[in-house]
Chains A and B, each alone.
Chain A
Amino acid sequence: MQRRTVLKIIALSALSTQLDVLSAMLPPTQSGERAAWEAGNYKLQFFTEAENELMDQLMEMIIPADNHSGGAHAANVSLFADWVVSNGCNIANADLFANSSISSDLQKSEWRKGLQLFKEEAAKSSTADILTRAAAGEANPQTDLEHFFVTLKQMTVVGYYCSEVGIHQELEYQGNIVLPEFPECAHSNAVASEMKIEESRTDTK
């Protein structure tokens, strides 16, 4: 059945019980296609294996796995970064109405320099300590390391929350589905009821 016909049937059916049957007729919104870095056989385009390993480690520290969901490693964010940097994409476009005053893109050579800084510092401190120092100036970065942290973190955030792990496991995002009726806000009904109860208590005092 053509998708357009299915959509029409869903729209003309008011009952939610019918919805479940009809929803099953629609092709799933997850099409099985995958972007290059998620495809399972990704080959690095820009970063070396050693650089990718360091990126993966740092990104996992920025967004780690926990009891709730996988972290940046599980979400292949370092591979995402390789793809984005090698193709010159603007990560600000992750948000259609992004605040473009956030500066988050570095030239390719700057990425290399930033990772090199971490490698050099690693001779004196642990990676965790270096990251702590790099992050300390996040609000007002001054040093090369601090500037690099801002960009590294932005890349991690965008890569993670655009991934299957970030969207579905971590945030449990419920949208992007076909929904013939928009659910009423149960929360506001509960709050309104509480407010009415409080008002009536106040009135009786």
Chain B
Amino acid sequence: MQLYKRKEYWNSPTMSWWERAYLFEIVRGLSITGGVFMQNMWRWMTGRKGALTTYYPEETRSDYAANNRGKHVLTQRPDGTPQCIACNMCATVCPAKVIEIEAGFDPDDPAHPKYPVRFEIDYSRCIFCGLCVEACPEDAIRMVKEVPNLPTFDRRDMWLGLEELLTWNPQSDVAKPYPGKRGDRQDARKP
């Protein structure tokens, strides 16, 4: 009398006697993993890297996409001043509210009387959405594919300021003509 009959599943695995013997399949599995170990170990011992891992802070990946939204760049005018006119549109659109701009008044530049005294991005909260780049009317802020190198033990180190954003990867807006400030341009408008 059979008390219990095991249910037959339509997709129950079928194994040949070789696989049922179990030992040979174990040997095969062990030789696969052992082979991978030997292969990677040989790479390490001959001075190459035997792993797919990137050592993160020491080593950054080189294969970011060309349009990757990484670290911000503030573009500059030919004389090195920021293109930013401190209009606060990026700070307004920013969903994470990470941009802080303190505007200053420059009477010498009637075309751009406002300029940023302070322009800071809090990378500990930035979500890299790129809305600041889209909102900017002056093409003053861009994002490039390189990512910011931020691992640190102090969160205050994750605020990047005007100087860093202008100088780490200087870019200028060549499409837009810039007449220069009052002192150094020829056809200066009279106030």
On whether the two chains bind one another, the answer is: no
Q: CB within 8 Å of A: which residues of B? A: none
Q: CB within 8 Å of B: which residues of A? A: none
